[in-house]
Chains A and B, each alone.
Chain A
């Protein structure tokens, strides 16, 4: 075990060493074409006839320099302060100052671009070295046509992944890093650029999160977090077992119209959730159908406050989520239940086991083993189950005891959404976002390593 732990670290250390060695050795042993390539990317490639690679590298360098001169130079130096000059009016003329938002965003982008360029620079050096070695052995370099065609063969992965990786970078990585940075600034409704700049405040927001008292977020945060975990637990496991039960009922021998029963349940998946959930929400309203009929039949004297009583609202949400959740589980369980070898049940029956015993010692262990990863994704999915909560209650009923308009049924994500959209409290929204990530990551890591089916994952392939 100890050996296994030290090996990767040592390997990584070697890799870093190798990078610097390659840079140094290549410069020392390389010819003048290679050496000039250290400054003008692609120079060596171009002179050796590899004009396709050479021009591509040169264009990258031109683009890089243009970007730094046009954008990077303007924003990067201000990155540490996020701007000092406020936009203001000087005798009816607007004098534009800094914009913290732009400085942060383009500052980050510049940092990423510089990192990318350094990697490219290194790749260029490696490329030069490889070419020189091929020529030294007296072989010919591959033709430009071959290089181009390799993008559809041996280098096909680069072609396939280029657009997805760029897409994820621009629309996921950059925004996430941006928001992580926002968590360390005072960007909120009083600090909206360009009229009011925001700046770095260190860990102040995180301190605020665990501050208890009238102004701190502590009480609210832990209440919302608690409900988020309780909700995710119940929403996952109640649905799981009830779905399994329904699937077993339908699968039972001698039951006819199996397809019909399944189809009826599946309607809830097919109908867009905002239609069905909004209708159900209205059904349970104080003046809604359920209360209306119960009153009419004289079963109750007063309308049941399904949505206005905090505890009742929570229970109602979990119950309605069963309505949403059972069909998914039923579909999954149906297929899997058929995979259990029939002779297992046969031999159990010969041994005199009854239905419950068979369920406990054959069906359940098998299902838990096979659906372990599914349970985990369901759980993390429910931690972030925005639609169900928001469409049903919008986090209501609100409580005076909670800050930032948090309600009793708010999950961390719905609270985050409210803070972003209604209160423009971006600094705390970013902190909450990081907390959601932390909770998801911790749960995933802990559970993932406990799953039996994960350990032999490679066995599947």
Chain B
């Protein structure tokens, strides 16, 4: 019986190790490529068919910081986007969730159904219309960064599901007790509910913070042709798709590493909250 169990465990370990290798291999490759030298005489900078560079060097990283490209500006843009979107989006979601979870008002179910239906339309459908609206306020091209923040935040109230699900689990008796003591709704919201919702606030903020790092579609449309308004996703994607043959691929890898490291570390630190939010959201729908 015991040997059978041991064999079972051994097989499990083997599978887990294989899975780990498959999962980490691309990242290993990414790191290796980023250290390839960028001297055309030594080694080609595009995609190659081997993984360990023949010459290790920091050429690609040096290039990113050299000012030959706007990498630092793109990076700064993305951080600005991420911070502001994360901040405002969290506030919006909290407000909507509290109102829908705790208050009963005319049109509440209508609002929830209506937003649910709206959410079924594909986001890109409205791109040209949004572009035009933003252009009216000068928030495209040069002003693309505030424009993107505005668009991302404006409709974020529709993503209240996970947060409202969490609020629903906080007993209403707490609210009622506080109301008997004379506390107003606003006071209950700010001094009771919010401090109790730390996990869900972190989850909402984290998800909102991660999104701008991958936002390619809308960002590229709004900032079209204006290099200094790009975010990292738009700029780096362009490197791979159009400049690959010039040896930009290894530079993309280096840039990718610089982008991935802080985001990954942040995510790993807050992983616990992420899991909580995702699991809660999955069960409640």
Contact = CB atoms under 8 A, between A and B. Distances in A.
A376 B119 CA distance: 14
Given A170-B133, A172-B158, A289-B49, A370 B283 contact: yes
B213 A272 contact: yes
B5 A335 contact: no
A416 B125 contact: yes
A269 B244 CA distance: 26
Interface residues of B, number: 91
A163 B92 contact: yes
A250 interface: yes
A271 B49 contact: no
A173 interface: yes
B216 A387 contact: yes
A106 to B, nearest CB: 11
B233 interface: yes
B267 to A, nearest CB: 4
A268 B24 CA distance: 8
B22 interface: yes
Contacts of B123: 384
Contacts of A416: 122, 124-125
Nearest to A424: B128
Contact of B130 (A175, A264, A444): A175
Given A274-B214, A282-B240, A386 B12 contact: no
A101 B132 CA distance: 9
A390 interface: yes
A390 B237 CA distance: 11
Size class of the A contact interface (CB-based, 8 Å): 35 or more
Interface in B232-285: 232-233, 236-237, 240, 244, 249, 252-253, 256, 259-260, 263-264, 267-268, 271, 274-275, 278-279, 281-285
Interface of A is mostly: helix
Given A270-B268, A272-B213, A336 B240 contact: no
Instruction: Give the one of B129, B130, B278 with max A CB within 10 A.
Output: B129
A254 B268 contact: no
Nearest to A166: B154
Interface of B is mostly: helix
Contacts of B16: 249-250, 255, 261
Interface of B: 5, 9, 12-13, 15-16, 19-20, 22-24, 26-27, 29-30, 33, 47-51, 92, 95-96, 98-99, 103, 105, 111, 115, 117-118, 120-130, 132-133, 150-151, 153-158, 168, 184-187, 189, 210, 213-214, 216-217, 221, 232-233, 236-237, 240, 244, 249, 252-253, 256, 259-260, 263-264, 267-268, 271, 274-275, 278-279, 281-285
Interface in A192-237: none
Given A279-B29, A331-B275, A172 B49 contact: no
A267 B118 contact: no
Nearest to A441: B120
A38 interface: no
A377 B49 contact: no
Interface stretch (A55-63, A82-90, A342-350, A425-433): A425-433
B15 A336 contact: no
Interface string A249-268: 11010110000010111111
A250 B17 CA distance: 11
Contacts of A334: 275
Instruction: Give the one of A158, A172, A179, A272 with max B CB within 10 A.
Output: A272
Contact of A264 (B23, B155, B249): B23
A447 to B, nearest CB: 11
